[in-house]
Structure 1
Amino acid sequence: MTDPLATRERFADRPSSRYGPRRAHARQPKVKRRRLRRTVLVLLAVVVVAAGGTYGWAETRLNRDVDLGAYGDRPAPGKGTNYLIVGSDSRDGLSEDDVQDLHAGGGGGRRTDSMMLLHTGANGTSMVSLPRDSWVTVPGRLDTSTGKTKRPEGDKLNAAFAYGGPELLVHTVEQNTGLRIDHYAEIGFAGFVNIVDAIGGVRMCLDRNIKDEKSGADLRKGCHTLNGKQALAFVRQRHQEKEGDLGRSKNQQKFLSTLAHQAARPDTLFDPLEMGPAMQAGLDTLIVDKDMSLRDLTRMFRAAQSVTGGHGKQINVPVSGIGVPTPKGNVLKWDAKRSARLFADLRHDRPVTETGRP
């Protein structure tokens, strides 16, 4: 493997800013660095650790680049542990052919539109999807491009990441949910296809045909083993979804459940030849907080595996409106009462009764 480059612009306050570390290609004959609209690779990157820690070198590969307390004014610690799991769409490392082949689009920088809040505690595990188009209040901050202080403003959740990276995203999630984020894990899209291919593809059953020009999805109704490119297109597409970004989040949860289950099967977990390439691809694009250890990642993986295996709750944050017009475009608005109750239950580690359904 090659070491990631260390370049980073801190707290860039422009959506087009490049502040994320560039990631190098994994050494494989034809490496395709892809866009993924899912964060599942964070989980796969620690599968081997969960199997017994046979890759001690992995500890040195973690890029502990995120300062959760950079903005201060954090909620008090709650009960249990909260992980913010994020997928970013950095095109660093993608060749022009890769961009075209994977329908990755143009542009630069690093953005996110896939976010999951994973809570573990005495009353079980809950995984809450936070759609990228959620309408939230982005806290006041210093605009490094002008040197002026910006006031709090309404915007989409993924705009917080574009304006100020993981630190501002964490700060925004904390301020809008009242939950203190204990750990952050972000996976770049570059390793996704290699991971899926490394475990032999992912078996998915579709209830309808899916054809989407923007993502490149062209899948037939029925059960198929999706290779990396097909899986990438599936988790990216949203234009055929009646619920748009919310529908895509549901597809992503379905894919996460299937992938976590397949990656954890015995013949995968205990075969270093099987998981070696996947481990390498995952770690090459993984960014975590300064206090994250492989032990913490193992706990996160096991918790996510548990909830996707049916021993926990998978929830979409309750919404009261879809496609609501605002000066920042159409957004999803959270149901104020139901979402507040959900986050309060998580903060106090109470049994979660919210389903996220309308």
Structure 2
Amino acid sequence: GSAFYALLMGSDRRSNKESGRSDSIMLVRVDPKRAQADIISIPRDMMVNISGGVSKINAAYSYDGAAGAIRAVSKFAGVPITHYMEVDFSQMVALVDELGGITVNVPESFSGGNGGGSLKAGTQTLNGEQTLVFTRERYKVQGGDFSRAQAQRIVLTAIIN
């Protein structure tokens, strides 16, 4: 019944042999009584103290897995994090495909970039691979990493809906 904080992360892990980095980091405050969730994206390149040194916040996951990321975000935000969810590239693709795709409004067209794909601006239904391209792109969009964080929130909202 009480409000709580959850950490949602998307890792760039591509195999079971590597830990990857948490390139998508969202802190969510869930208030069950009000049936409301507030989401804030945390820039992956934000510099924080981790294990006695200064590093990008997404490195906490590389150093100490989910527990390290939870500690780093909790300390940075000043809130206790009691819930956690993580998806990697293949899990994101599988989730969206299992849902039969998701309908989103892509804010701007792009081609190439780090996601390796292209999308046109406008409302459309994306499959898993297209969703991965949309959520990864930061080089061929005007807002860079901020646009990527916006795309990730758009996708999260579509999945919830």
Relative to the length of structure 2, the TM-score reads 0.85
Shift of 1:223: 2.9
Distance 1:228 1:125 in 2: 24
Q: Give the corresponding residue for 1:131.
A: 43
Distance 1:120 1:260, change over 3 A: closer
Q: Give the corresponding residue for 1:81.
A: 4
| Higher RCO by CA contacts (8 Å cutoff, separation 6 or greater) | 1
Note if 1:117 corresponds to 2:27.
yes
Give 3-state SS (helix, strand or coil) of 2:20's partner.
coil
Give 3-state SS (helix, strand or coil) of 2:70's partner.
helix
Distance 1:206 1:82, change over 3 A: closer
Distance 1:258 1:185 in 2: 17
1:190-209 equivalences under 5 Å are 190-209=90-109
**Conserved 8 A contact 1:133-1:245:** no
Could you tell me the percent identity over the aligned residues?
Answer: 32
5+ residue gaps in structure 2? none
Q: Give the corresponding residue for 1:259.
A: 159
Distance 2:74 2:159 in 1: 28
1:94-173 equivalences under 5 Å are 108-121=18-31, 124-138=36-50, 140=51, 152-173=52-73
Distance 1:157 1:220, change over 3 A: same
**Conserved 8 A contact 1:209-1:220:** yes
Give the greater-gyration-radius structure (CA): 1
Shift of 1:116: 1.2
1:1-358 equivalences under 5 Å are 80-92=3-15, 108-121=18-31, 124-138=36-50, 140=51, 152-261=52-161
Distance 1:213 1:120, change over 3 A: closer
**Conserved 8 A contact 1:88-1:186:** yes
Distance 1:249 1:186 in 2: 16
Distance 1:194 1:168, change over 3 A: closer
Which residue identity is paired with 2:12? D
Which residue identity is paired with 2:42? L
5+ residue gaps in structure 1? 1-78, 94-106, 141-151, 262-358
Give 3-state SS (helix, strand or coil) of 1:87's partner.
strand
Relative to the length of structure 1, the TM-score reads 0.41
**Conserved 8 A contact 2:93-2:132:** yes
Moved over 6 A (4+): none
Shift of 1:159: 1.0
**Conserved 8 A contact 1:136-1:155:** yes
Which residue identity is paired with 1:153? G
How many matched pairs? 158
